[in-house]
Structure 1
Amino acid sequence: MRTPLSRRLLASSALAAALWLLIVVIRWGFSQIPGGAAQLAQLVPQLAPSQLLWGQSGGWLFVAIAAGVLAVGLVHALVTALAARSGAPLIAAWFATVTAGAVVGLAFDLAAAWGSLAMFGPRGLLVGAFGVAAASGALWGLAAGWMPGLVARSPAETPAYADETRRPVWLLPAAAVAVIAVVAGGVASDTARTAAIAAESAARQEAEAAVTFGALPDPNAPGVPVPTRAEASTELDAQWCTPDKATLLLGQSDAATGHRGMPIQLMNFSDEPCVIEGYPDVAFGDQNQHLLAVTIEQGGSFMAQDPGPQRIEVPAGGYALTYLGWDAASPHGALVTKTVYAAPTAGMERGSWGLDVDLDIVEGSTVSVTAWEIDPDPFPSE
């Protein structure tokens, strides 16, 4: 007994939807294989952009897939019912498979490009791989459409296709709604994936910040590099402790009841005395290698008294001493001092010690600097 054509066309559409789902699942399965075997996924048509269906989309993953399966079936049924009226159900169902794959792929492409469209308008379609799913869907339909076509094929003696393939009036709006659902599900899937990635990144940064001194480095943070020298009008004479005669040494920081201090020594490594006067020039670099906004005050602090500016002579092999002082501050999430820059006096080139120093001199801190004085005990006993 001959099966009515309308039932065969319905079975053909159901088979097309099942084949679409099978290809999507196979591609996903290959992508989950550890190691290089995951490259096998590239041999399977990409009927939907991977970023919409896989990853951290949560429940929207299943919504997007279900919407795609339904849309393939309905679009296929609509196109087959229209084309089969010409009396060639096999060709009609084959063509419908190509059309359904392309239309549903285009819907997924639009969902993947939604963010770019919202930001850049039609130019956003030029970003990324827009159109890949539509092209893959069409090629899939061309390669696999013969199977739904065989199911839809009618015996040669069937005389009245027009009556048997009269399409239900609901197919067109149902197919349109299903395609719109694919776009909506894809957009929701991409939004959920983006939100999950952002939340995971924020949690990771928070965990890293809990064990990191200061805020994590940000390569996009605004700021200016630390100047190589401070402007000054002082002219240095031949007796000054210039870099060819002396160098600066960074001491170890010290702490007491909420206060901090750190010595800087000037060592005269030459064979003759050299002179130094006044206060050193200091600056601080943050974790982004930018100048840290710190107020420098010349004078004493809780940690050290200021002897006042005076011209001192540092003997050959001798040391001069200055002391930095500041109040303790919380480094959590803050711009902190990672590099200390200093020069014996303003106008001379600043140097650093080429290492990270983790000081709780944070953005907005005030640092007191004492005047140079002879260091009577450059090598204190432990």
Structure 2
Amino acid sequence: MRAVRVVVPALVAVVAWFASGALSTLGMASGSPALLRVTRLVAPDTLPVGITAPEPWSILVGVAIAVAIGGLFALLALVFGADRAAPRIAGFAAAWAAAVVAGTIVGGLPLVFALAEALLHTAAAPLPTLDLAATGAYWGVVWGWLPALAAALLATVPVTRPLGTPGAVAPLAYPVVLAVSAGVAAIGLAGVAVASPIADAAWHARISDNAAAEAAEAAEREAGLETGTGNAPPPATPPADAVPIPEIAPGDWRIDPTWCTENQLAFAASRPDAATGHRGMRVTATNVSTAPCTVDGYPDLAFSDPVTNGFEVRVLHGSGMLGEPDAGAVAVELPPGGTAEVDVTWDAPAHSDRDPAGFLHIAAYPGAVRQFVPIDTDIVGGEVEVTAWRLPTEDPAAAG
């Protein structure tokens, strides 16, 4: 067996994997809903969030994915008999099937860790879904014909130099090629298994740190004074009624591809207004990316005290005494630098020995990663109401 008949189709598979992810990213950055729908159809988003993590994790994840998809495609193509199938169409189909299975395994590998985390942790956590594996499988369907075509064409190329003539190279034994492909695939999958969770955590930490810093600066500018929240050390044990705050709201959420992602938005909260028995504050979301995106519906909210012990807070949709009337869910497109806002209202709580909420955990919609926003409230539980996203209301004083 000629090594080129294995290596070249595997390299084509690697290029196709990254090309699909790159086209998907371009579609998301274009700001055109029509182009976004087209790229979603023809270019599955194969690149994980860790690929944009701080170095060196982004590089390690990229290399690991390349080795995993190339090695696994080569291994499965050999197992399925793509190099030995006759007629040519059978080898093409076998290699295409190898691409689908390889994409499913590489794309769905993080699902294994999400499932293990859900089983090992008793705290509320987002349930793992099959979306990643389905994306990998869809990539194999849409793009897998490219490495399959390369494999089919190379399988029919005759050996131009018989053995014994100058320059002739002896073909490798099938078991050797199979073993090498299996080793490469194992190394790649192990690399993804180790580097991907760390890279994802590094990416989320960077986004959370940036968003928290921007929100704190906005709050300081609005208040006109320095703040120092979040510096108190956590207690040895959380209060008995503390609630864990998951990074993503639990549930199987439907997310529109035009909606703003967590790395496109920065949140800030105003100082609360107060009236007899009522409270309210305004929360803004600013598009800090270079591409337009959309917020639609109601944000996802949770609350915790200054050391991030969560409260049992029931979040209702609507407007309270101190909020603007809730117009309901409408799509609000945010250009780069654009803002949208919601009003969060609640009733004055009864006396409690608990420290009140010092952080708002917010996402533009359920299913997105929550970000931390420092707040100064007297919320210790109970109910809060939140309006749907809307364009900023005009300041009456400025209008007059």
TM-score (norm. length: structure 1): 0.48
Of the two, which has the highest radius of gyration?
Answer: 1
